Structure 1
Amino acid sequence: MTDAHPPLRSYGRLKTRAIKPRQAALMESLLPTLRPPAGPFDPRMLKPDAAEVWLEIGFGGGEHMAAQAQRRPDILLLGAEPFQNGVASALRHIDEQALTNVCVHDGDARELMAQMPAASVDRAFILFPDPWPKARHNKRRLVQAETVAELARLLKPGARLRFASDWANYVDWSLGRFLKNPAFRWTAAEAGDWRTAPGDHITTRYEEKRLGDCAPVFLDFVRVD
């Protein structure tokens, strides 16, 4: 019998260089303590006193995730990243800042999302995901109609979602897909709302490299009732 649900495939490189000894040690010692449970789980079980549950999809090197968790120790921040060098970097940030409100899924974010119940997330971030700029690779982009639908399932009414990219075509692509889903409302009222980094945004070294073809664009959405 053919498996109706084949394993998810994460495109791109999962590892590029040798992980530094200290970070490799954290992969062995710290990461197992930060992973969410295998199988279905309610994130509230991980931090019952959390004011909110946040989700960062593709946290890169973990700078933004760690800084937000440090800024808001009252929330639980779930992060997902399949790139092993990024996971190792994030663990260093978590360890150095002694963060106790972060969970790390070292794999595809869609796996993590599928394990959580509906209306269990208060805020989500998709920041500077791989743009896959060639048209033949667009199907590899994280933001697809199916992903948007899954985010609509996960986010509570009134929850916020931020998408950011410095690739113009990916911005247009993502805006179109979010606006096609009636569960999301774009909060922008004028151009400055997407051209200027929001006040609570944390700029990372990756963002500062300006590897895209436009200035960073920030799209904020609200999950409507």
Structure 2
Amino acid sequence: MTDETHKTGAPWRNFYGRRHGKSLNKAQQDYLDQDLAALSPGAVDWDANPDRTPIDMAARFHGKPVWLEVGFGSGEHMVHQAGLNPQVEIIGCEPYINGVAALLGKIRRLGTQNVAVHPGDARDLFDVLPPASIDKAFLLYPDPWPKARHHRRRFVTPEHLAPLHRVLRPGAEFRVATDIPDYVRQTLEEVPRAGFEWQGARADDWRRPWDDWLSTRYEQKALREGRTPHYLTFRRL
């Protein structure tokens, strides 16, 4: 990130992931046109909120606990957790618009009520989340950026972890799943430095998925290709 800003005052943030894939079909475009606006967490758009007024969490989420999933892919895990936990609200961030459309299709088919969707960079959402407003966070199979010169693009860097720490309440759980050993290394180095404590107590703790885990299509592909999932749990100090 540099000191350059957009006309609205938005900081200039480099974004390296994909925003678009293959052309959307009519149903997917309809999901975006008809459903996305109502599911927005609000206050995130820089043009509408250049002063970065924080989201009124009590009004938007009805006083419920709020969880956050960063990079939800096609939304399998997000709608799974929403179904298991109707007492919470879940915000999902995903800049890849094809994945957003896939999630919206799942929400419509399942009638999921307790979700919000930010179709963009999580850092813009962090700007408007009040401190200590999130009760749990998920980072599941993030882009690995395998080349050493690209490791600074990973989510587990101070640029992302510092605002994540700010918006999580003390004691909140932060879950990370990845099949990339070097991502595990960087996670175990950087996340504790950012004010989190790893909850692993035994050597094989990282091998066991969480009791409420849903194995996604990405994880099944990793298993077929011989890669080992790692499940890391942290607590925000």
TM-score by length of 1: 0.93
CA contact (8 A) 2:19 2:95 kept: yes
Aligned pairs for 1:56-95 within 5 A: 56-95=69-108
**CA–CA separation in structure 2 for the residues paired with 1:88 and 1:12:** 17
Q: CA deviation at 1:67?
A: 0.8
- For residue 189 of structure 1, the aligned residue among 190, 201, 206 is 201
**Cα separation, 2, equivalents of 1:2 and 1:11:** 17
Give the superposition deviation at 1:150.
1.1
Question: 1:70 and 1:10 mapped to 2: Cα distance?
Answer: 31
CA RMSD of aligned residues (A): 1.8
Whole-angstrom CA distance in 1 between matches of 2:99 and 2:156 = 20
Alpha-carbon deviation of 1:5?
Answer: 5.4
1:207 deviation in Å?
Answer: 1.3
Q: Identity, % of aligned pairs?
A: 42
Q: Is contact 1:194–1:218 with CA below 8 Å preserved after alignment?
A: yes
Q: CA deviation at 1:109?
A: 0.8
**Residues 132, 170 of structure 2: 8 Å contact kept:** yes
Partner of 1:28: 33
Other structure's SS at 1:159 match: strand
- 2:211 corresponds in structure 1 to 199
Q: Quote the residue 1:47 is aligned against.
A: 61
**Is there any run of 5+ residues in structure 2 with no aligned partner, and where?**
44-48
SS of the residue corresponding to residue 30 of structure 1 reads helix
Is contact 1:129–1:165 with CA below 8 Å preserved after alignment?
Answer: yes
Instruction: Indicate if the aligned counterparts of 2:69 and 2:139 stay in contact, CA closer than 8 A.
Output: yes
Output the CA distance in 1 between the equivalents of 2:188 and 2:153: 17
Normalising by structure 2, we get a TM-score of 0.88
Give the structure 1 partner of residue 17 of structure 2: 12
The answer (yes or no) to whether the contact 2:57–2:63 under 8 Å persists in 1 is no
Contact 1:168 1:213 in 2 (8 A): no
Which whole-Å CA distance do the structure 1 matches of 2:11 and 2:126 have between them? 16
Deviation at 1:206, TM superposition (A): 1.3
Distance 2:31 2:143 in 1: 26
Residues 66 and 133 in structure 2, CA contact (< 8 A), matched pair in contact too = yes
Task: From the superposition, tell whether residues 41 and 49 of structure 1 become closer, same or farther in structure 2 (CA, over 3 Å).
Answer: closer
1:37 corresponds to which residue?
A: 42
Matches within 5 A, 1:34-183: 34-38=39-43, 39=49, 40-50=54-64, 52-181=65-194, 183=195
Distance 2:56 2:185 in 1: 33
What SS class does the counterpart of residue 99 from structure 1 fall into? coil
